[in-house]
Amino acid sequence: MRRKSKRIICGDLIIGGDAPISIQSMTNTDTRDVEKTIEQIKNLESVGCQLVRVAVPDSEAAQSIVAIKKHTQIPVAADIHFDYRLAIEAIECGADKIRINPGNIGDSKHVEKIVKKAKERKIPIRIGVNSGSLEKIIINKYGGITAEGLVDSALKHILALEAMDFDDMVVSMKSSSVKMNYEAHKLIADKMQHPLHIGITESGSKNSGKIKSAVGIGALLLEGIGDTLRVSLTGDPLEEIYAAKEILRAAEIRNEGINIISCPTCGRCHVDLESISSKIEERIKGLNKNLTVAIMGCEVNGPGEAREADIGIACGKSKVLLFKNGEIIRTLNEDEAEEALIQEINEF
Ligand code: SF4
């Protein structure tokens, strides 16, 4: 069962409460390069990103939010470190949400000024606690960076904002350790009701990062924890959205996106199934259709799986059988399989 959380509004996106778990990403362009940032956000929107964060390291970046908002659709969150004035400027420039770690903003009077401005503009604040920037006092208290320390830090900041009569918060506690991340979320889940933004920080490249994120985010989702998520990967942020969708589908939370079943191949396979499968996966990863596609390597288990799927191929020694809705609809040569499958997927 999903953890009960408060409902907050961020632009036209609802986070928490009964709202579906949303997918976020962060641009890796220089926010001051408005044209490139807008282009990347539009690309993210087109594949299903629902909220995008931009780095705001200076005033020029904060001012760029005005133009970015004009030309994009999804809510824009401003990521601020250290300088409270940038948070205020980003809010004034139209940010739909800001992400701060009150610990590195420092002076509570400065945090109060940010909160006052967020209240005035009715925008939420994400309190983002990160294992890499945990306060020294907390590290000393727990003898290192620990799950308990992450929770202690997050609760301290939550209480501080609540004492300022501010409730419009999303909370994140990220660690690059999957285990610590899991333990911290389990500890905090019933200690407060603010929505949780989940993810594994600095998880790595497209390959290792996806595995860490799938384990870390997937474990939490199966516990009912998480209201919004980001898969953090080094590289193209579009990959984060594809991975997030796959994780939500694997956890049986969302069903849009194509479910590919492909066999591992063995000595019975006489075609280059790895190449067919990876090319097809690459070509369909942005598609939002809810269907299952089977890509199978031989005539032993292949026809059974291909028949069960919406669309499928079963490769034999010299021919490939193409299935749709449980029926064989064509017999193909190996070099025709990719295009024929893509055509059927597009038409389905
Ligand atoms: S479907 Fe055929 S080729 Fe693929 S793993 Fe099973 S037996 Fe081997």
Mutate to test the pocket of ligand 1, among 263, 315, 323 (most ligand atoms within 8 A of CB): 263
**What pLDDT, on the 0 to 100 scale, is given for residue 190?**
93
Pairing of strands 97-100, 22-26: unpaired
Helices (DSSP H) in 223-289: which residue ranges? 237-250, 273-284
Q: Tens place of pLDDT for every residue, the chain, 348 residues?
A: 899 999 999 999 999 999 999 999 999 999 999 999 999 999 999 999 999 999 999 999 999 999 999 999 999 999 999 999 999 999 999 999 999 998 889 899 999 999 999 999 999 999 999 988 889 999 999 999 999 999 999 999 999 999 999 999 999 998 889 999 999 999 999 999 999 999 998 777 888 899 999 999 999 999 999 999 999 999 999 999 999 999 999 999 998 788 889 999 999 999 999 999 999 998 988 787 889 999 999 988 899 999 999 999 999 988 999 999 999 999 999 999 999 999 999 999
**What pLDDT, on the 0 to 100 scale, is given for residue 10?**
97
**What pLDDT, on the 0 to 100 scale, is given for residue 132?**
85
Cα-to-centroid distance, 299 and ligand 1 (Å): 8
Does any ligand 1 atom lie closer than 6 A to the CB of residue 268? Answer: yes
Q: How far apart are the first and last CA of the chain?
A: 33
**What pLDDT, on the 0 to 100 scale, is given for residue 21?**
98
Question: What would the DSSP string read from start to end of 140-190?
Answer: HHHTSS-HHHHHHHHHHHHHHHHHTT---EEEEEE-S-HHHHHHHHHHHTT
Does any ligand 1 atom lie closer than 6 A to the CB of residue 261? Answer: no
**What pLDDT, on the 0 to 100 scale, is given for residue 289?**
84
Does any ligand 1 atom lie closer than 6 A to the CB of residue 265? Answer: yes
**What pLDDT, on the 0 to 100 scale, is given for residue 258?**
87
Mutate to test the pocket of ligand 1, among 276, 295, 300 (most ligand atoms within 8 A of CB): 300
Domains plus CATH for the chain?
8-250 (3.20.20.20), 257-347 (3.30.413.10)
Nearest to 220 by CA among 175, 258, 256, 263: 175
**What pLDDT, on the 0 to 100 scale, is given for residue 199?**
96
Atom of ligand 1 nearest to the CA of 269: 3
Does any ligand 1 atom lie closer than 6 A to the CB of residue 115? Answer: no
Structure token pair of residue 152: 């202690």
Phi, psi (degrees; rounded to nearest 5) at 78 = -100, 130
Which pTM was predicted? 0.89
Atom of ligand 1 nearest to the CA of 263: 4
Pairing of strands 320-324, 311-315: antiparallel
CA 238 vs. chain centroid, Å, equals 10
**What pLDDT, on the 0 to 100 scale, is given for residue 317?**
86
Does any ligand 1 atom lie closer than 6 A to the CB of residue 300? Answer: yes
**What pLDDT, on the 0 to 100 scale, is given for residue 266?**
93
Nearest to 311 by CA among 267, 260, 272: 260
**What pLDDT, on the 0 to 100 scale, is given for residue 18?**
95
Does any ligand 1 atom lie closer than 6 A to the CB of residue 241? Answer: no
Does any ligand 1 atom lie closer than 6 A to the CB of residue 267? Answer: no
**What pLDDT, on the 0 to 100 scale, is given for residue 279?**
93
Mutate to test the pocket of ligand 1, among 269, 271, 272, 295 (most ligand atoms within 8 A of CB): 269
